[in-house]
Amino acid sequence: MADNREDGGEVERVAANWIIRLGGAPLTSGEQADLDAWLAASPDHRAALDHARSTWAQLDLLKADPGPLRADMTPAHALPPISVAPPVSRRRWGRAGAVAASAVIAFGFGTFWFGDPVTMLRADHRTDIGEVRTIALDDGSRVDLGPATAIAVHFDGSERRIALLSGVASFTAAPRAAAGGRPFVVEAANGESRALGTRFIVNHLPHAVRVTVAEHDVDVSARAASGRAARAILQPGRQVRYDANGLGPVSGVDPGQAEAWRRGRLLFDAAPLGDVVAELNRYQRGRIIIADAALARRQVSGVFDTRDIGGAVSTIASELGASTVNIGPFATIIR
């Protein structure tokens, strides 16, 4: 017998879409009829709508008192009142709900759910959540874009420059001699990687950039917030990370680990949980949020399937002695 049960994730997605729609202009008579019919089809639909509405209500309430994430917040527009279903008690969410809602406000709901619109406008090529795609450039170079990745291409007569705006990408540069002597440069955050050979991987994390070399050499340079600049020549099998403090130490690594996403895997070896979560977030629309900075610094090792992000989160939380809280389709908190 066929299984006629409706997928819970799809119900939550539809409920979230209705809440977003209800926050705008009044429903047309046809839309109201569609909503009424959807609610009448299953008690689960009403529960999902209540859950989604409660999350939105929390965002609006916490705007007045965002708590410990206040320092990282940017203003977001107030959410308009919603006329469908009474709100769930605020006490139900507790501290974890407050952290999640505060984080949503910090990014703005549209950015949180659909991505940064500024990045979208700047990008020449980009991928969606969970999407992997290969781009052929005019000079014969190839770029393998990881999920939730965006690049802007700036080729001119003097250089071949690519800005990695977000995400992770593997670059296979056409030889300089075949490109009129123009260098191949990838900029990301406060640094850049200049190809002296062919293939390297750049991973743009929220607060750092990691460069891994697979073939030949790459000249990596970065400028710290203090103004101090540093550079390192990476050989194959070497990796370096840079952030606002400048260039970190060079270490050995298996390049296959840095490119595991191309095979549907994510490999981490003593990686900070904050970096791990940043990569997991590229595979699902709802955000994974870490409840505090100390937990974000805990180290994670393991191999995870990109098709089972929920399972990865559960495994990681268990290994760290942490717990998780789901806030509908919007967020999962590790605390």
What the block records as the tokens of 182 is: 């123009």
d(CA 323, CA 226): 38
9-38: average pLDDT: 76
Q: What is the mean pLDDT of the chain?
A: 81
**pLDDT for residue 93:** 45
> How close are the terminal C-alpha atoms of the chain, in Å?
41
**pLDDT for residue 14:** 77
Q: What is the DSSP letter of 113?
A: H
**pLDDT for residue 263:** 93
Q: How confident is the model at residue 267 (pLDDT cuts 50, 70, 90)?
A: very high
Q: What are phi and psi of 187, to 5 degrees?
A: -100, 140
pLDDT: which is higher, 13 or 26: 26
pLDDT in tens, 221-232: 999 999 999 999
**35 CB-contact burial (10 Å; exposed 0-12 / middle 13-18 / buried 19+):** middle
pLDDT in tens, 30-57: 888 889 998 999 888 888 787 767 655 5
pLDDT in tens, 96-154: 555 555 555 444 445 555 566 667 678 899 999 999 999 999 999 999 999 999 999 99
For residue 17, pLDDT over 60 is answered with yes
CA angle at residue 112 from 111 to 113, to 5 degrees? 95
d(CA 193, CA 176): 14
pTM exceeds 0.75: no
Domains belonging to the chain, first-starting first, are: 8-114 (no CATH), 115-259 (2.60.120.1440), 264-335 (3.55.50.30)
**pLDDT for residue 115:** 60
**pLDDT for residue 114:** 53
Enumerate residues 6+ apart whose C-beta is below 8 A from 89. none
292-309: average pLDDT: 94
- In the chain, which ranges are continuous DSSP H helix? 8-22, 29-41, 43-62, 94-107, 109-114, 117-122, 255-258, 273-280, 293-296, 309-320
Task: Write out the DSSP string of 232-299.
Answer: EEEPTTEEEEEETTEE---EE--HHHHTGGGGTEEEEEEEEHHHHHHHHGGG-SSEEEES-HHHHTSE
240-245: average pLDDT: 96
For residue 253, pLDDT over 60 is answered with yes
Segments of 157-198 assigned E as strands: 160-172, 184-188, 191-195
Count CB neighbours of 64 within 10 A: 7
Residue 240 CA: distances (Å) to CA of 26, 165, 200, 284: 53, 19, 12, 27
313-324: average pLDDT: 94
For residue 247, pLDDT over 90 is answered with yes
pLDDT in tens, 62-100: 444 444 334 333 333 333 333 333 334 444 445 555 555
Q: How confident is the model at residue 25 (pLDDT cuts 50, 70, 90)?
A: low
| Amino acid in position 114 | F
**pLDDT for residue 83:** 37
Count CB neighbours of 224 within 10 A: 16
